[in-house]
Structure formats: C-alpha cells, structure tokens
Structure 1
Amino acid sequence: MDQLNNIKDLDNLSLVIHGPNDLRLEQTPIKDTLEPNECLLETHSCGFCGTDIHLMDHGRMADFIVKEPLVIGHETSARVVAVGGDVKNLKVGDRVAVETAIPCQKCDYCRAGRYNLCPISNTQARGLPPKHGCLRRYYAHPADFLFKLPDNVSWEEGAMCEPFSCIVHACRRLNIMAGHNVLVCGAGAMGMMAFLCAKAFGANKVFVTDINKSRLALADKLGADKTYAIDPKTFNDFDMAQTVVKDMGCNPDISIECTGNDSSTSMAIYATKNGGKVGIVGLGGLKSTVPLVHTAMREIDLIGVCRFKDDYPLAIELIASGKVNLKPLITHKFPITEAIEALKFMKKNVEGSLKIMVHY
C-alpha cells in the first residue's frame, strides 16, 4: 500500500513498561501492513489514569501482569494516516477518539449487544497486558472502534472521550434523568465527569464528596450544588450520610461511587434512598466490606459499571454541544519526551492537579 511506504523508517517513540518501576522511552516497531478494516493512527494526545500508576508501581493491574515489554496508555486521540481497503467511514486526515477495548463481535455477549462484557475484550484492552497501548506515535486500530471528532472538539477532549464514555455508560446504567438527586463520591477526574454528566442528564441536585479541597473548589466552580471536604482521620460513613441527607433535604435517588474506598461506598449506601441505586465506578481491592444488609433490606441496587458500550457517540455529542465542559479538568500537559516524569507527577497527587495529558 502506497500509504505505508517507508513506514518502518518513521520515529515511533513509545512509553514501555518492562516491570515494576521500570518505564522506558524507546522505539517500537510500526505495523507495515493493514488489515482491510484497520486504520493506521498517529497519536496526538494521551491521558493517564490510575491503571497506569498500578502498572508502573507493581508491573500489574489486578490479574493483568506485565510478562514482557508493554506499551502503556489507553486514553487517546489520533489522526488517521492510512486506511485499509474496506474502511468507508474514515479517511486520511480525520481526527478520531479511540475506543480501546476490542471485543470479538461473535460471542453471546457481543451478539446480545453487551460487548463490554466480552471475555476477549479483557485480553484486547489497549494498555493492559498483553495488548500494547496508545502511547506510541503510530499504531493500527480497527475502524469500527474509531470515532470522528467534530471540529470544535479539541485533541485533548478527544483523548478524554475514553474515561468520559465510562461515565456516560454509568449514567445510562443508573438511568439518571430529570429531577433525580445525585450524590457523587470522589472529585477526581472520574468523579468530576460523573457530576458533570449527571447534570447534563437532567439531575436536579448533585452533591460531591472528596478529601481534596482544591478539587472540591473546582467542583463548586463548575456547578456542584454542594461539596463536602472529608477528613479521613475523623470520617464516619454513617454520620456523613446523614449530613448529606439533611443538606439535600432528602436521600439521593442515585449515588455514584468513584473512589473505590470501602468507607466511601458504605457512606453512599447509607445515604441512598430506599429503592435507590448505587453505581460502582471506582475500583478498590478485590474484596470489599460494605453494609450489604442495608442494600438488601432497603432494596438498594448496586450497579456495576464495566468500561463502555456504544457510548462514544453520546460522549462526543455532549462535549461538542457544550453540555459538558471537560477542559477545566485537564490541569497539566507534558511532551512525550517527559512521559515518565508525567506519570510520576500524577502519582504525587499534587494539589491542583487532576487530569495529566501527554502530547506528541
């Protein structure tokens, strides 16, 4: 294919993990032949999340273990630089958001429309072993999982579509709608997007909790109805729930837990109204201690959230329409040559930092 002539000679600087605390910037091979349904992408922006920190620190994320060098990164926007023979929905030069977990499209889950639960997608999620991620200049990706960005959506917002699509999926799973009162636990990037998305879905009041006062100040600025600075030394999950209920004037219809912390999850359960829902977005340990008796006796639904499912188009539309503004969440930017420093900076959780973005 003429588009791929001399592709092996191009710079493909990549962020590669070799094991715990062993990150390296190095050149990686570029695929020189595309499948008929693939596009070759040139990365522009890529964000980091907690998954990348786990990989850096431990060489693993849950059961995903780094056994050989792995390119990390999965929150990305890119430009199409070549297309396979069967690709009709995209052309060279298009700017795209990249849906990074690739299902088999053949199993019962995929055929039922729940492709995010496809067992194959767990082994084909970019940036988790064994599937190379997006923090490299060039890589090939199936066109069916690329979404063209409108002109008014920036590269950085395009990269944010991956985590934001997880939140859109959560809000859809929880069926948030006009009039609902919502509690969001955690004001990190996911919690911020959760409260913004809940508002866009029509929620009446949205309250937000966190231990980081600067993040809560940003939540206040962006329209949260009330925020709560939690002191972990004196935090009592039941008392905090009663405070939220008193201030809201009712129990929240829906709570979205974005911290993965057992105490925070317990607080969300205590606060949520009888017959309400608690969405589990943040992931902590493999086992959890929460008041399940309360969920049973009060018929509170615990709703699991696994990545995204047909959520990129709505995520992009919410951003493009201005109903959700993600730009204030992007607080720090680094060039690819400083990608290792960027990830270490994120781990420090510096006051005022939220979403870290790396640029090519």
Structure 2
Amino acid sequence: MPLTKNVAAVLHGKNDLRLEERPIPKPKSNEALLQMECIGICGSDVHFWVHGSIGTYIVEKPMIIGHEASGIVIEVGSEVKHLKKGDRVAIEPGVPCRICNFCKEGNYNVCNDMIFCACPPCDGNLVRYYCQAADFLYKLPDHVSLEEGALLEPFSVAVHACKKGGVTADSVVLIMGAGPVGLCTVIATRAYGATKIIVVDLVEFRLQQALSFGADYILKINPTDSEREIIKRILEVLGEEPNISIDCTGLESCVRICMLAAKKKGVMVEVGMGKPEMNLPLFEAQCKEVDIRSCFRYCNDYPTALALVSSGKANIKPLITHHYRLEDSVQAFQVSKTGVGNAIKVMIHANPNWKP
C-alpha cells in the first residue's frame, strides 16, 4: 500500500496550530518507521498551544505537537530484531542517551540529553508517519487496542506515581484532581490494591468518573473553601489520615492540602506540574516527617502499565470521550481546552482510513 502525504499538526506559537506537509522520514538502523494511528491530547500539549511555553520550555520555532501515541510498524532498521512490519505498538515518547550515569542507574527519565516528543525543541508525533527508537516501542497484544496503546502514556505517569508512593494493599490514598492523570491514578492505585481511595475535585462529572474507575470516596469542593475545611472534610470522609497523598493538579493549594492531610510518616507524591515556585507548609510536613517525593514522567513503567491493561486489572479505555481525525486537530484541541461535552481524553486518529 503506497504511503500518503505526511500531514503534521505543527505549533507555530500561541494559539497557532497549523496542518502542514512534512517529508516522510527514513528510519535509522535502530529505529522503526510507523504509520501513526492514535494520538491523545495531553494537558501539556494544550498549555503549549495556549501559552507557547511551560516553565523553561519555550516554543521558539515551529514544532510538531503530540506525544501520547500508538502506531503500526511500516519499516524497521537493520539492527531492529524484536519488531516487524505490521506490528501494533505503543510509543514511549522519550528517548534518553542510554550512556550517562542516570541512564546506567536506571533513571533515564532525568537524562540530561533526553529527546522527548513535543518538548521544545523536539518534534512530537501528531503526524501521519513517524520514526522512533525501536527499544522505546512496545508491541501490543492482539486484544489491546491502539487507543489503549496511546493511553499507556498518561497511565504510565500514574504507574510511576504509585511506584514512587509505594502503593500497596494497606494504602489509604488521597488523590487531588480528577483530570485525565488523576483518573489514571485512580485506576492505577486500585490495580495496586489500595484499601481506600478518595478523590477531590471541583467538577462533579469528573468525580463521578472517579467512582466508576474505582475510587471509594469522592469530595466535591469549591474554590472559596478554606484549606483547613477541605482537610477536615477529607479526614471525615476517610475516617483516618491518608498514608499516601498524590497531587495530580500542580496547583499550590492542592499541593499544600496533600502535605497537610498526610499521616505522620506518610508519603506525598507530586505529579502535577504547576508554577515554578510555591508557598508550602514545610514546617508542618517536617514535624510529621512526611516524605515528599517528586514524580517526573515515567521510567521503566511502560511494561508495567501494559501488563496491567493486558491482564484486565486496569481498564483505561473509558477515559476516551471524543474522537477526531488528524485534519480536525484544531477543533480537537479546542474541545480538550474547554472540556465541552464533558471531555476527558480527546483522541486524534492519524490514519486517513480511520472510521468512527
């Protein structure tokens, strides 16, 4: 089957996303060329689109957007042994150097030379054809869909958070935020066997989704609620203090609540990425010896995430609420930005033969 035009969604700056034709890439010896299939829109993609930057990452030249993706192998390089044409794969979007001490120690997510999709200046994979290092491609079992393959990216973030937090069968978990990553974290903590899970958010629909994904309790709050009142209500609902609190929002108020609500000797995991500097209650956290742990992307978590999905222990497909073609990417981004129609995860389909 002949290849079609390589259409890409290219971000030129704030609120300037364009569809452009790019050359079809050729795979290097350790790469595979993919027909891209499913690409989910992440909050970071929307943030780059709206603001043109995230922290120190600034869009200074046109950049293909997108990093939550799956595809089908079209061609493999000469060194690739574990994949062949026609294989369906999930794409881990970050490729480290593999030779620095961080990589050798197994902490490649903090490699200083990481090439990460749609993190300036690197192009992403919201494009019809894309090349990726083959060792960061994961073959999908026949019963796992390409949509689920794309969802492995946000789900791997949640798996990483569970590993960092040490979630086990005796865990009582507080999750701040019921956005896509927060809901993934609900699914992951349930799969890891947490005893109690409470999710806090402003939006009733998302909280109801959290219940459907396995939360035991939900708590709807208002922007005007005081910090201490929210914490009091969390503890009343749970009947005890959480020994693991996970913030999936990046908001200073939520980070503070996670630190203050945590049990003595508990763990607080920061997943959300907010403003660079915050006013936090370190004195109270220190007096309780709360173990504050940062969480950045994922590291050796894709195989775990895939195993949980493949085994049926984690059902992530209902996260997808909206579907769009690659040609309708701007509309898809607008829906993801506004949340209209109770959008959770908006999925873009790059294959021109895709049918709803």
TM range (shorter): over 0.9
Among 299, 310, 316, the residue aligned to 2:306: 316
CA contact (8 A) 2:186 2:213 kept: no
Candidates 280, 287, 292, aligned match of 1:290 = 280
CA contact (8 A) 1:73 1:134 kept: yes
| 4+ runs deviating over 6 angstroms | none
| Cα offset, 1:269, TM superposition | 1.3
Q: Deviations over 1:302-343 (max 9, x none)?
A: 110011111111101111111111121111111111111100
Q: Which residue matches 1:53?
A: 46
What does residue 84 of structure 1 align with? 77
Q: Which residue of 2 aligns with 1:28?
A: 22
Coordinate RMSD, CA, aligned: 1.3
Q: SS of the counterpart of 1:251?
A: coil
What amino acid maps onto 2:269 in structure 1?
A: G
User: For 1:326-341, what aligned pairs fall within 5 Å after superposition?
Assistant: 326-341=316-331
**Structure 2: distance between partners of 1:172 and 1:249:** 25
- Which of 111, 115, 118 is 2:108 aligned to? 115
1:202 pairs with 2:193: yes
Q: Deviations over 1:146-181 (max 9, x none)?
A: 000111111111001111111111101111101111
Distance 1:244 1:126 in 2: 37
- Which residue of structure 1 lines up, in the alignment, with residue 154 of structure 2? 163
Aligned partners of 1:188, 1:351: CA distance in 2, in Å? 14
How far 1:237 moved relative to its partner? 1.6
2:324 and 2:347 in contact (8 A); partners too:
yes
Q: 1:222–1:167: structure 2 CA closer, same or farther, 3 Å change rule?
A: closer
Corresponding position of 2:353: none
Partner AA of 2:245 in structure 1 = S
Query: What does residue 67 of structure 2 align with?
Result: 74
| Contact 1:45/1:156 (8 A) holds in 2 | yes
Which residue matches 1:179? 170
Letter in 2 for 1:41: L
Q: 2:131 aligns with which of 140, 143, 147?
A: 140
Measured in 1, the distance between the counterparts of 2:70 and 2:236 equals 43
Uncovered stretches (5+) of structure 1, i.e. residues with no partner: none
Per the TM alignment, residue 29 of structure 1 is displaced from its structure 2 partner at its CA by 1.4
Q: Which of 175, 189, 193 matches 2:180?
A: 189
Q: Which residue of 1 aligns with 2:234?
A: 244
Q: Kindly state the Cα deviation for residue 247 of structure 1 after the two structures are TM-superposed.
A: 1.9
Number of aligned residues: 350
Q: 1:274 aligns with which of 264, 277, 297?
A: 264
2:248 to 247, 258, 264: 258
Q: State the shift of 1:215 in Å.
A: 0.7
Q: Is the 8 A contact 1:214 1:351 kept in 2?
A: no
Percent sequence identity is 41
The residue number in structure 2 matching 1:231 is 222
- Residue 119 of structure 2 aligns to a residue whose secondary structure is coil
In the alignment, the residues of structure 2 paired with residue 275 and residue 227 of structure 1 have an alpha-carbon distance, to the nearest angstrom, of 24
**Please, what TM-score do these two structures have when normalized by structure 1?**
0.95
CA contact (8 A) 2:151 2:317 kept: no
1:351: Cα distance to partner? 5.0
Alpha-carbon shift at residue 225 of structure 1 (Å): 0.8
Unaligned runs of 5+ in 2: 351-356
Shift of 1:246: 2.0
Q: Which amino acid aligns with 2:285?
A: T
Give the counterpart of 2:12 among 6, 18, 30: 18
Query: Which residue, out of 287, 295, 300, partners 1:305?
Result: 295
Match in the other structure for 2:354: none
